[in-house]
């Protein structure tokens, strides 16, 4: 799947990713009202990854609903809309409008590492988090994915709360809180100072999170964080993921990365004598 936040909001960009071989696409996060986001610089390249702090720029669900409708008519793969809000009611309203416009599922962003009063501020408060998930679950009749933050003491504890509240699947992980400082100007590079690290740098962290979550809950896990080639994807499957998302690697590998990864997984299964991906999901847990 295409990971959330990588590409813009237009139906055309989502279609180009599906043509590149993605089995599903997740949109950038959308909220109830339009948000401008932070001023530049909003992205900085670091060793083995990117740090970004865009500030959840988005056109608001009412305008974005048009793009969802358009994308839904032409896309041949499931369309998952990433949703954020400032309260359980807001999450539910945005999710309802997304589903009315044609979303096949929603992914709740309760893990943006730096925007005030949403994202990880919701995802780290277990009481509010449970209310958000159950409110969305009772409002829409489509699968609810919840994208978890690695910036917590125990991601498995959070996963348990979210699954008890009704989540159908978990996406692990969102970006890791990070920063970069310009030694010339002596100040942080990003206008927001702090951002979220993605890409190969976070793969071992994401893998450990998926492994921990798989030991605790039974719902499908979607691995996300640094997947760049088939071997990364297979590692996530062995850790317990049933699918993976790819984001940052599109910048380095291009949209063909989806076909390359799925072809590589198929070859691996063939060489190893497995009949289906299902046979390797969580296989690393056996003793």
Residues 226-285 that bind ligand DHB (CB under 6 A): none
**CA pair distance 195, 114, nearest whole angstrom:** 7
Out of 196, 225, 240, 282, the residue judged to bind ligand DHB by CB under 6 A:
196
Q: Does 53 bind ligand DHB (CB under 6 A)?
A: yes
**CA pair distance 263, 285, nearest whole angstrom:** 25
Active site residue 224: no
Q: Which of the stretches 52-60, 221-229, 234-242, 274-282 binds ligand DHB when contact is defined by CB under 6 A?
A: 52-60
CB of 221 to ligand DHB, least distance (A): 18
**CA pair distance 39, 55, nearest whole angstrom:** 9
Residue 30 or 277: the one with the smaller Cβ distance to ligand DHB is 30
Q: Does 52 bind ligand DHB (CB under 6 A)?
A: yes
What strands lie across the sheet with 105-109, from one edge to the other? 25-26, 79-83, 105-109, 144-148, 169-172, 221-224, 243-245
Residue 114 or 234: the one with the smaller Cβ distance to ligand DHB is 114
**CA pair distance 261, 21, nearest whole angstrom:** 9
Residue 5 or 282: the one with the smaller Cβ distance to ligand DHB is 5
User: Dihedrals φ, ψ of 40, to 5°?
Assistant: -70, 155
Q: For the window 117-156, what string marks contact with ligand DHB as x by the rule CB under 6 A? A: --x-------------------------------------
CB of 14 to ligand DHB, least distance (A): 17
Ramachandran bin of 227, using left for φ above 0, alpha for ψ from -120 to 50, beta for the remaining angles: beta
Task: Tell me which residue has tokens 């994308």.
Answer: 71
CB of 83 to ligand DHB, least distance (A): 11
Give the count of beta carbons closer than 10 Å to the beta carbon of residue 183: 6
48, 112, 209, 224: the catalytic one is 112
Give how far the C-alpha of residue 271 lies from the chain's centroid of Cα atoms, to the nearest Å: 30
Q: Does 31 bind ligand DHB (CB under 6 A)?
A: no
CB of 8 to ligand DHB, least distance (A): 12
**CA pair distance 89, 225, nearest whole angstrom:** 29
- Smallest CA-to-CA distance from 33 within 80, 114, 93 is with 93
Count of residues near ligand DHB by CB under 6 A = 13
Angle at 121 between CA 116 and CA 125, to 5 degrees: 155
Residues 91-120 that bind ligand DHB (CB under 6 A): 109, 112-113, 119
Q: Does 59 bind ligand DHB (CB under 6 A)?
A: no
CB of 185 to ligand DHB, least distance (A): 22
Q: Does 55 bind ligand DHB (CB under 6 A)?
A: yes
Q: For the window 204-233, what string marks contact with ligand DHB as x by the rule CB under 6 A? A: ------------------------------
- Smallest CA-to-CA distance from 248 within 40, 106, 12, 44 is with 44
Residue 53 or 170: the one with the smaller Cβ distance to ligand DHB is 53
| List of residues contacting ligand DHB (CB under 6 A) | 5, 52-56, 109, 112-113, 119, 174-175, 196
Write out the catalytic residue numbers.
112
């Amino acid at each position: 799947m295409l990971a959330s936040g990588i590409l813009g909001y237009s139906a055309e960009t989502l279609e180009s990713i599906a043509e590149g071989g993605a089995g599903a696409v997740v949109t950038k996060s959308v909220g109830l009202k339009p948000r401008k986001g932070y001023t530049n610089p909003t992205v900085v390249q670091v060793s083995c990854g990117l740090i970004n702090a865009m500030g959840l720029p988005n056109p608001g669900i009412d305008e974005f609903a048009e793009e969802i409708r358009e994308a839904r008519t032409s896309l041949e793969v499931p369309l998952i809309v990433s949703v954020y809000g400032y309260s359980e009611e807001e999450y539910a309203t945005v999710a309802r409008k997304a589903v009315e416009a044609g979303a096949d599922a929603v992914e709740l962003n309760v893990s943006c590492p730096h925007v005030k009063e949403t994202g990880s501020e919701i995802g780290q408060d277990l009481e509010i988090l449970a209310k958000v998930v159950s409110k969305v679950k009772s409002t829409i009749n489509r699968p609810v994915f919840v994208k978890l933050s690695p910036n917590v003491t125990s991601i498995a504890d959070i996963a348990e709360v979210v699954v008890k509240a009704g989540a159908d699947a978990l996406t692990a992980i969102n970006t890791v809180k990070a920063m970069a400082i310009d030694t010339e100007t002596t100040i942080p590079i990003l206008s927001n100072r702090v951002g979220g690290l993605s890409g190969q740098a976070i793969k071992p962290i994401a893998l450990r999170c998926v492994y921990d979550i798989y030991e605790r809950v039974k719902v499908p896990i979607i691995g996300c964080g640094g997947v760049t080639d088939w071997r990364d994807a297979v590692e996530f499957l062995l850790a317990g993921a049933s699918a993976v998302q790819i984001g940052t690697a599109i910048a380095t590998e291009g949209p063909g990365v989806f076909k390359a990864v799925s072809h590589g997984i198929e070859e691996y299964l063939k060489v190893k004598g497995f009949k289906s991906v299902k046979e390797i999901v969580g296989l690393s847990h056996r003793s």
